[in-house]
């Protein structure tokens, strides 16, 4: 299937072995934004994604600490990378594009390729997106490569009837729902991940505190200091960017339950340690200074010292309590 796909378009970059080509991938794609595909060469399954910093995203995917992080480990692509390992995957950069075009471009390729590792078939918010004649033609060609059994067709048909349809009873996009949530309460609280991507909106500080087994006083302290809460999340009383759209809108979904559970599971983490090279590219993330000390064989006092100073340790590492690049 994948070889046939390659004949239909010319990728900007292609790496046959994600594990072995890591250095070239990071070097070639530093500070570049665009659309990529991770392909499992063992079973031809693949994932379409976008990033405003492809090098950093691929650097994260290459880290087992990132893949095993409670907020990531349930993602299908992360599970696949852990199960089959990095050498089983190829990476294709479909195209480079401006950051402002990422959502529309990603939606185009998700619609065209129907990637099986993409559980969510919407690239953040695709409101107003229309297929071009070229995309319609390409989707038609790709459809001819797929064989769907009668049994599968029947399952698809049943899944789209009445309440089984994911659009049943819904008329609002994520953007509109977010605006509704904001308009209903001036006490809204916003939960961002370590990359400052808006995960979810809560009606109040009390609501969030109860859900994640915390208290208002503690959460307020993190709002004021803007330190990472439990090593993974930023909590704010206002949007970091006006254009921010929550990745999770519906609080009744499994995604929301997993987010809350992962936040609770990280209760023991006070300060996570991020380790970068001199580029800086993220090399690893540890749940605390002791974990970093054990893994790197560097004293925890030294690690804390360099976290505070921001200086380069031994011409090799930069230590930080925060992710240094928060624009992805």
309 Cβ contact list (under 8 Å, min separation 6):
none
Greater model confidence, 165 or 189:
189
Distance between CA atoms of 272 and 289, rounded to whole angstroms?
7
Distance between CA atoms of 154 and 135, rounded to whole angstroms?
27
Please give the pLDDT value at position 122: 62
pLDDT band at 202 (very low <50, low <70, confident <90, very high): very high
The alpha helices in the chain, defined as continuous H runs, are: 2-6, 22-28, 54-61, 64-67, 76-84, 102-113, 133-143, 150-159, 174-184, 205-211, 216-225, 254-265, 289-296, 300-309
Model pTM score: 0.52
pLDDT band at 145 (very low <50, low <70, confident <90, very high): very low
pLDDT digits (tens, 9 = 90+) for 17-46: 999 998 899 889 988 999 999 999 988 889
68-77, 188-197, 237-246: range with highest mean pLDDT: 188-197
Distance between CA atoms of 328 and 323, rounded to whole angstroms?
11
Sheet holding 198-202, edge to edge: 198-202, 189-193, 233-236
Please give the pLDDT value at position 138: 53
Please give the pLDDT value at position 181: 53
In the chain, count H helices and then E strands.
Answer: 14, 11
Structural domains in the chain, CATH included, are 2-126+128-164 (3.40.1440.10), 174-265 (no CATH), 273-320 (no CATH)
């Amino acid at each position: 299937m994948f070889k046939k796909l390659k004949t239909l378009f010319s990728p900007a970059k292609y790496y046959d072995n994600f594990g072995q080509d890591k250095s070239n991938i990071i070097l070639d794609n530093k500070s570049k934004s665009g659309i990529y595909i991770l392909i499992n060469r063992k079973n031809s399954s693949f994932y379409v994604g976008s990033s405003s910093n492809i090098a950093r995203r691929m650097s994260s995917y290459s880290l087992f600490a990132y893949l095993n992080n409670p907020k990531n480990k349930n993602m299908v692509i992360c599970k696949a990378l852990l199960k089959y390992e990095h050498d089983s995957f190829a990476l294709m950069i479909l195209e480079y594009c401006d950051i402002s075009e990422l959502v529309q471009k990603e939606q185009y390729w998700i619609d065209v390729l129907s990637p099986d590792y993409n559980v969510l078939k919407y690239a953040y918010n695709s409101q107003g997106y229309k297929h071009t004649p070229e995309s319609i033609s390409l989707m038609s060609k790709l459809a001819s490569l797929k064989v769907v059994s009668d049994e599968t067709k029947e399952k698809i048909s049943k899944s789209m009837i009445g309440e089984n349809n994911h659009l049943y009873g819904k008329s609002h996009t994520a953007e509109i729902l977010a605006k509704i949530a904001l308009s209903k309460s001036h006490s809204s609280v916003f939960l961002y991940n370590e990359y400052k991507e808006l995960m979810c909106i809560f009606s109040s500080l009390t609501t969030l505190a109860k859900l994640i087994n915390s208290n208002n006083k503690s959460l307020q302290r993190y709002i004021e200091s803007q330190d990472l809460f439990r090593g993974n999340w930023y909590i704010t009383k206002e949007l970091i960017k006006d254009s921010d759209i929550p990745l999770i809108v519906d609080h009744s979904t499994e995604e929301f339950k997993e987010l809350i559970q992962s936040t609770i599971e990280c209760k023991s983490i006070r300060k996570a340690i991020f380790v970068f090279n001199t580029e800086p590219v993220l090399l690893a993330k540890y749940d605390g200074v002791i974990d970093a000390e054990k893994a790197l064989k560097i004293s925890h006092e030294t690690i804390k010292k360099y976290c505070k100073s921001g200086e380069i340790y031994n011409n090799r590492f930069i230590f930080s309590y925060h992710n240094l690049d928060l624009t992805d």
